[in-house]
C-alpha cells in the first residue's frame, strides 16, 4: 500500500523577506508622497497669506488716499522721500504721504504715509504704513503756531513705530496723472499753499511687487543688499525674485 505524503503550503524565508521589503517600500513611498503634499500645501498657504496681505495693503492705500484732506494752510500731500532708503540702484522705491480723513482721536485729520522699509537684520523690504492719530497730527501741524503754514516734513516723523502692512514687498511705484490724463513725472511732488502753481494730481496709480516668505528664503540666504531687490538686471533678481514675485496695482481718484 502506497502512502501519500501531504505537503503543507508555507512561505519560505526568502518570500517573507521579499514581502516585508515590498511593504516597507510602499510605506516609504506613501510617506514621501504625504510629506510632498504637505510641503506643497504649506507653500500654497504661505503664498495665499502673503498675497492676501498684499491685496489688503493695496485696499488700505486706496482708502487712505481717497480720503485725502486739502488742508490749508499746510502741506497735505507729498510724493517725496521722507524715509531714508539705503537702496542706491537706479530704480527707486517711491514714497507717499498725506493728510487723510479717518476717525481717530478728537477729530478725523490724520497723517498717513506708505513706503518700503529695509530691515537690515532680515535683509528684506516690507511695505510700511506710517500713521499718526488726529490728536498727534493736530499737535504736529500747530507746532509752528495755530493757523501757521506747516511744511511737508510735518507729514512724517522719523522714529515713530510704523505698521508693517505686508512683508517681502518692494518696488513701490506711484504715478500721478493730471486732470487731462497726462502723466505728472515730477518727483518729489509736494502740494501745499507755498507753491500754488503746483496742482494736485487727479489720479494716482500705485503698484508694488511682493513674494511669499518661503520663496524669499533663497534670496535672504545669498544676498544682504537692498540693490538686489531693486535692480532687475542682477543675477539674484532674475533667478531668485522674478520667477516667484507677483505685481499688485490699483488706481485712486483724488478729484
Contacts of 47 (CB under 8 A, 6+ apart): 212, 214, 215
Q: Which residue has the higher pLDDT, 236 or 70?
A: 236
pLDDT at 26: 81
C-alpha cell at 172: 513701490
Q: How many Cα atoms occupy the beta-carbon half-sphere of 218 within 13 Å? A: 14
Report the range out of 47-61, 124-138, 166-180 with the highest average pLDDT: 166-180
DSSP-assigned letters across all residues of 16-52: HHHHHHHHHHHHHHHHHHHHHHHHHHHHHHHHHHHHH
pLDDT band at 113 (very low <50, low <70, confident <90, very high): very high
75, with CB counted inside 10 A (0-12, 13-18, 19+), is buried
Share of the chain above pLDDT 70, in %: 85
Q: What is the pTM of this model?
A: 0.78
- Which of 121-139 are b and which e, b meaning 16 or more Cβ less than 10 Å from the residue's Cβ? eebbbbbbbbbbbbebbbe
Q: Hey, where are the domains in the chain?
A: 67-253
- pLDDT of 104 higher than 60: no
DSSP reduced 3-state for 108:
strand
Strands (E), the chain: 77-79, 96-104, 107-119, 124-132, 163-167, 169-177, 183-184, 189-191, 203-210, 246-253
DSSP reduced 3-state for 135:
helix
Q: Report pLDDT digits (tens) over 162-216.
A: 899 999 999 999 999 999 999 999 999 998 777 777 788 999 999 999 999 888 9
- pLDDT of 79 higher than 90: yes
Contacts of 156 (CB under 8 A, 6+ apart): 82, 83, 97, 111, 113, 130
**What is the spatial distance between Cα 129 and Cα 93, in angstroms, rounded to a whole number?**
14
Mean pLDDT of the chain: 84
pLDDT at 6: 54
**What is the spatial distance between Cα 205 and Cα 152, in angstroms, rounded to a whole number?**
21
C-alpha cell at 142: 500747530
| Ramachandran category for residue 51: left, alpha or beta (phi over 0 → left; psi -120 to 50 → alpha) | alpha
Report the range out of 2-11, 21-30, 99-108, 164-173 with the highest average pLDDT: 164-173
**What is the spatial distance between Cα 38 and Cα 86, in angstroms, rounded to a whole number?**
38
Q: Are strands 96-104 and 77-79 parallel, antiparallel or unpaired?
A: antiparallel
pLDDT at 48: 58
Amino acid at each position: 500500500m502506497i502512502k501519500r505524503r501531504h505537503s503543507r503550503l508555507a512561505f519560505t524565508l526568502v518570500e517573507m523577506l521579499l514581502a516585508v521589503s515590498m511593504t516597507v517600500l510602499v510605506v516609504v513611498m506613501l510617506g514621501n508622497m504625504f510629506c510632498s503634499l504637505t510641503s506643497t500645501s504649506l507653500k500654497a498657504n504661505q503664498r495665499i497669506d502673503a498675497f492676501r496681505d498684499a491685496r489688503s495693503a493695496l485696499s488700505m492705500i486706496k482708502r487712505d488716499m481717497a480720503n485725502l484732506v486739502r488742508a490749508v494752510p499746510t502741506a497735505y500731500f507729498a510724493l517725496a522721500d521722507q524715509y531714508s532708503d539705503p537702496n542706491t540702484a537706479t530704480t527707486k522705491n517711491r514714497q507717499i504721504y498725506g493728510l487723510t480723513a479717518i476717525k481717530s482721536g478728537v477729530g478725523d485729520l490724520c497723517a498717513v504715509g506708505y513706503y518700503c522699509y529695509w530691515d537690515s537684520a532680515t535683509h528684506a523690504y516690507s511695505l510700511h504704513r506710517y500713521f499718526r492719530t488726529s490728536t498727534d497730527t493736530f499737535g504736529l501741524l500747530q507746532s509752528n503756531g495755530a493757523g501757521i503754514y506747516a511744511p511737508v516734513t510735518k507729514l512724517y516723523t522719523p522714529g515713530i513705530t510704523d505698521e508693517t502692512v505686508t512683508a517681502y514687498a518692494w518696488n513701490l511705484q506711484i504715478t500721478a496723472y493730471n486732470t487731462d490724463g497726462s502723466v505728472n513725472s515730477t518727483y518729489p511732488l509736494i502740494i501745499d499753499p507755498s507753491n500754488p502753481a503746483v496742482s494736485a494730481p487727479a489720479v494716482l496709480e500705485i503698484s508694488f511687487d511682493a513674494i511669499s516668505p518661503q520663496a524669499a528664503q533663497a534670496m535672504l540666504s545669498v544676498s544682504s543688499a537692498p540693490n538686489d531687490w531693486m535692480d532687475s538686471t542682477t543675477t539674484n533678481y532674475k533667478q531668485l525674485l522674478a520667477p516667484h514675485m507677483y505685481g499688485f496695482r490699483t488706481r485712486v481718484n483724488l478729484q
